[in-house]
Amino acid sequence: MSKKPSLAQLASQLGAELHLAPSASPEDIPLGLSTLQDATPSDVSFLASATYRRFLRDTRACAVILTADLAAECPVSALVVDDPYHSFALATAVYDAAPEPVPGIHPAATVHPDADVDPSASIGPGAVVEAAARIGSGAVIGPRCVVGEGSDIGRGSRLHAGVTVYHGCTIGRDCVIHSGAVIGADGFGFAPHQKRWTKIHQLGGVEIGDEVEVGACTCIDRGALGDTVIGRGVKIDNQVQIAHNVQIGDYSAIAACSAVAGSARIGKHCTIAGGAGVVGHVTVADFTHVTAMTLVTKSIDTAGAYSSGTPFSDNRSWRRNAVRFAQLDQMSRRLRELERQVASLQGNRPEAGDGE
């Protein structure tokens, strides 16, 4: 376990201005991170949302990461920054207690003689590295992972226990692939013929850029012809389905239980919220946000926020509304007919001064 930094050292690492409480010392050593309401005197906390401002006054933390306009309200030492949430993210790396892997190949691992494994890489027990696979410097292949023939795992990337990377796939540098993820399985391709299905063999691969994180039990299918491509810095949550030949632009993020169908193209810096779906062969513009449970059924050409579906309500109201949804077409026809009748009556109305 690495040595924890003092308050002064932590401020330097975060690029923060340290405002010490009267009884505090810059050499005090915090031991961890916690929320404002749960922090102890050995914890650092943070305030990034006005929602939690009410907890600042009574916090017991040894220091709080916050903006300059709130420093005067802080009863303990303050680490003043421009973006507290980003600084909190940096601080989590400082206090991460995950065990460090040991370089080398575990005796219970199986590594093909033709594989290229950097001496600084770590290959865990039960892992399999097949022929012509390449494992870069500092990469970690966790227990029971499989790296298929000809696949390439970049420098500093980590495959947690039980990840499967099929043949002919490329994972860039400094990526994190969580347990149960499958990279490069066959895309869902079948040709109907005489009331049966003929398999379309998936001849492409998967190309994952640098600094990508893939959540647990997510599947990224290989391309049918050409590769499925995940851009640099993309973040994909747990249990997400990425179909064959999808392209996801740099620094986009997709939340849990979403699905992107074959050959869809997601732009750069997009965010797709939980449970959303994107149909195949559509394009989503850069900087688009898709809200939870939305189904994208056609291309989005203009950046913005997009939604579909029905918000929840109490069950009785929802049932009434569900009946009305089924009547919308009939109601629309009746409304048009009423509008036609009104227009006809207005057309027959005498002008001022007409008549007797």
Q: Which domains does the chain have, with CATH numbers?
A: 7-94 (3.40.1390.10)
Q: What is the pTM of this model?
A: 0.88
Distance, in Å, from the CA atom of 296 to the CA atom of 305, rounded to the nearest integer, reads 12
pLDDT in tens, the chain (356 residues): 468 999 999 999 999 999 999 989 999 999 999 999 999 999 999 999 999 999 999 999 999 999 999 999 999 999 999 999 999 999 999 999 888 899 999 999 999 999 999 999 999 999 999 999 999 999 999 999 999 999 999 999 999 999 999 999 999 999 999 999 999 999 999 999 999 999 999 999 999 999 999 999 999 999 999 999 999 999 999 999 999 999 999 999 999 999 999 999 999 999 999 999 999 999 999 999 999 999 999 999 999 999 998 788 899 998 998 898 889 899 999 999 999 999 888 877 666 655 54
Alpha carbon distances (Å) from 196 to 86, 199, 200, 203, 342: 53, 10, 13, 22, 57
Instruction: Give the count of beta carbons closer than 10 Å to the beta carbon of residue 253.
Output: 17
Residue type, position 107, single letter = P
Name the residues annotated as catalytic: 244
Task: Please tell me the distance from the alpha carbon of residue 252 to that of residue 276, in angstroms, as a whole number.
Answer: 14
Pair 76, 62: CB distance under 8 Å? yes
